[in-house]
Chain A
Amino acid sequence: MGYTSPFLRASVVVLIALVCFAAPPCDGHFVQAQTRQKAQPKAPRKYSCPMHPEVKSTRRGRCPKCGMTLRLVTDKADSPIAADAPPSNFPGVIIDTTAASSLQIPDVPVLDQSGKQLNFYSDLVKGKTVAINFIFTTCTTICPPLTATFRRVQQDLKTKAVDAQLISVSVDPTIDTPERLRDYAAKFRAEPGWTFVTGSKSEIDSLLQALGVAVVNKNDHTPMILIGNDAAKFWTRAYGLSSPTALIKTITEAAEHK
């Protein structure tokens, strides 16, 4: 199976984004934002990530994608969309639909937290709406908040009766045995409908590669969530430490996508 390199896709997105910013108006969003700017002659200061120009903020802070400190933008070519962007201290959902919509999920054999053998695509994703995050049980800094967010998302999805499944894929399959995942799931009181996935290193590596989240060092893994509706072939990415409300909105939209 040949997939376009995630890096290649990412750079295409960046290119598209740049073209949009340079040649307005490219969508309704822009017009709306511009109107707002007219009403507020004192434009707020704008900050942007040197690596991810699509990340905009009105406050100092860090890039939610790479962690770099945001820089003050003085350039006129800067997109006024920034005014709409959420403050980076509480980043909203950053959607990157273009990159993810062409995603193909491989059907690799994996193990769930009870040790049951599953095929990733056909058993967990096929025909469903899913949200996938990437964790490892010995990770201590970002995985607990990521997992806690997922726990809240699961509860809220239940009360809102949104039919979506949660998946947490271990990026450290050699250490994360099904037993470890089971304990981890229990710690965060995960309920049925939330599958923790591990497997052989090579299978999991190929899965991570295909999902565009492969990293050399597990400590570099990004707090990214993949949200998709397989039936509608709709995929999007979101920042994993976004508020549960924002994530629920994205998941609901994905579920309703036709």
Chain B
Amino acid sequence: MKRWITLKDFLLVAGLVFFVALVCRPENTVNAQDPLASAERRGKQIYVLGTSASGKDIFAYVGEGSIEVPASTMACASCHGLDGQGKPEGGVSPSNLSWEALTKPYGLAHPDGRRHPAYTERGVELAVTRGTDPGGNRLQNVMPRYQMSKEDLADLIAYIKLLGKDRDPGISETKIVIGGMIPATGGLTEMGQAVKAVTTAYFDDLNSQGGIYNRKVELKFVETADTPVGTRANLERMLKEDQIFAMTGAFMAGSEKEVSSLLAQYEVPSVGPFTLFPQIEYPLNRQVFYLLSGIDGQTRVLANFVAGKPEFKNSSLMVVYPRSDFNRNMLESIKDQSIKAGLKPPTVYEYAPGSFDALAVVKQLNQSDPGKPLFFLGNTEDLLSLLQRAAEANWFPTVVAAGAGVGSQILSAPAGFDHKVFIAFPTSPADQSAEGMKEFRALAEKHKLPSTHLAAQISAFTAAKILTEALKRVGKDASREKLIQTLEGLYEYQTGLTPAITFGPNRRIGAMGSYVVTIDLKQKQFVPASGWINVGK
């Protein structure tokens, strides 16, 4: 009898040891978050970006005329590739820089007839700074000579020795670490838990089917904080300590700028963050891929929708908005889209946030532009008081509204506005195919997912699905850069739950468009007013 217990104990202890071994592995400790040593990491920056971590200048001198340019315009990786294998283009074949190739004991013979003995560290230094190979020959004339400090040169060579062997953080032969961020404040905790549950269920299923190229997905979650700065700090801690390869369905709402800039800084690709305000200003944040249009895209859809109505041919929009930088940007979008859609430039009415005088607005606009469609950018409360005052004045203009706050309270508008108020939605039940819903329902039943917050769950599910699809397309030899390039190549990808998703080198919103719905005040519901209106290229 006792023997059996011992065996059981043994198993328990073995399990514990294994567990301890797991948590004590060097990559789980804080100091070793980066697989590269510091010299190699600094060297990588020089190799990839052509800039020095020390802040010292690095210059490149090109051709016979020794034209001086910043090395950032001609970083090593540009021609030799991130893996050092060389990227032939326009008749130029950059050499293979892997250390094995450079140090072949019998030397090298190049296709152009150049021959030389094996490189040494000193040899590489001379190639980088003087443009000569160990045989004393000149290198190809498109290979610049670089001027950098001794320390930078040593760092660069430390990294060149590793070329093709270093991996991005969060990926190994057996696992890939994916991060999530869920809300933990402001009454959103339950939604956060639902998102966590569906994401975990999705990747558990994937792992039970073998993962992605034999790599198991390891999920890590972090919670948002009360302030954007706090949220950013939480996320930064996770990115550093847990070596996150990529993020899925991160809850970014309220801290869009902070979170997206952090993801760019740590070069962590992120698919399908939760937000109505995608950060898509130029220069592009390459890391963050949004699924649906935000307020900006919805605004453009509404301008197109109005322009498509025969009664507003050659008319213009009357934009009413509370003063803010964001709404001024929206105004620019409306102007731009009006002109594209064939409307005249809009007229504007700006008011101070929190002091909306609906009566004054109605008086002024009813006199100056009674026939014009109104474009309202304020919150639902302001909109309702506007509709109330307008109804009292027996004025029932067409109103389009794009705003984060326009919710179902709008269904209590005065009866005269029945089918007169239009709102854009970036997705609709029509996007949910039978197959897409079947897949989602099967997962929900199997893992007993909560029945609440379905929209958020579907959004998180779609993000996980797209990230997985992209990782599968990348192939076994995955890197963050390849993941970004693969996502950029995604064209009309059917998720079964959202409009088709297309990204591109200049495009970070998967479904650039929206549906327009209007209010049915008798049935107290939203009814479709348009099909899908595309505003992407």
Give residues in A with beta carbon < 8 Å to B. 60-67, 69, 89-90, 138-142, 144-145, 147-149, 151-152, 175, 177, 179-180, 183, 187-188, 219-223, 241, 243-245
Contacts and interface: CB of A to CB of B under 8 A. Distances in A.
Contact of A219 (B89, B111, B142, B504): B89
A69 B113 contact: yes
Nearest to A66: B91
Nearest to B86: A141
Interface in B37-73: 60, 62-65, 67, 69-70, 72-73
Contacts of A66: 91
Given A139-B89, A179-B282, A219-B90, A144 B69 contact: yes
A145 B91 contact: no
B354 interface: no
Contacts of A145: 62-63, 74, 142, 144
Contacts of B138: 89
Contacts of B111: 62, 69
Contacts of A65: 91
Contacts of B63: 90, 145, 148-149, 241, 243-244
Contact of B90 (A148, A221, A245): A221
A148 B69 contact: yes
Given A62-B91, A179-B282, A222-B91, 10 more contacts: A60-B112, A60-B114, A140-B89, A145-B63, A145-B74, A148-B69, A149-B67, A152-B65, A152-B67, A175-B504
B15 interface: no
Interface residues of B, number: 35
Contact of B74 (A148, A220, A222): A148
A144 B93 contact: no
Given A145-B62, A152-B67, A64 B113 contact: no
A151 B61 CA distance: 13
B366 interface: no
Contacts of A60: 112-114
B74 A64 contact: no
Contacts of B60: 148
Contacts of B114: 60
Overall SS of chain A's interface: loop
Contact of B67 (A138, A221, A222, A244): A244
Contacts of B74: 144-145, 148
A152 B144 CA distance: 15
B94 interface: yes
Which among A61, A67, A144, A243 has the highest number of chain B CB atoms within 10 Å?
A: A144
Contacts of A244: 63-65, 67
Given A145-B74, A148-B73, A67 B65 contact: no
Contact of A141 (B62, B89, B113, B282): B89
Contacts of B135: none
B112 A61 contact: yes
A180 B282 CA distance: 9
Closest 8 CB pairs of A and B: A67-B91, A60-B113, A140-B78, A141-B89, A243-B64, A142-B90, A244-B65, A152-B67
A141 B62 CA distance: 13
B504 to A, nearest CB: 8
Nearest to B505: A175
Contacts of B506: 175, 177, 180
B64 A140 contact: no
Nearest to B69: A148
B73 A188 contact: yes
B90 A151 contact: no
A65 to B, nearest CB: 7
Contacts of A179: 282-283
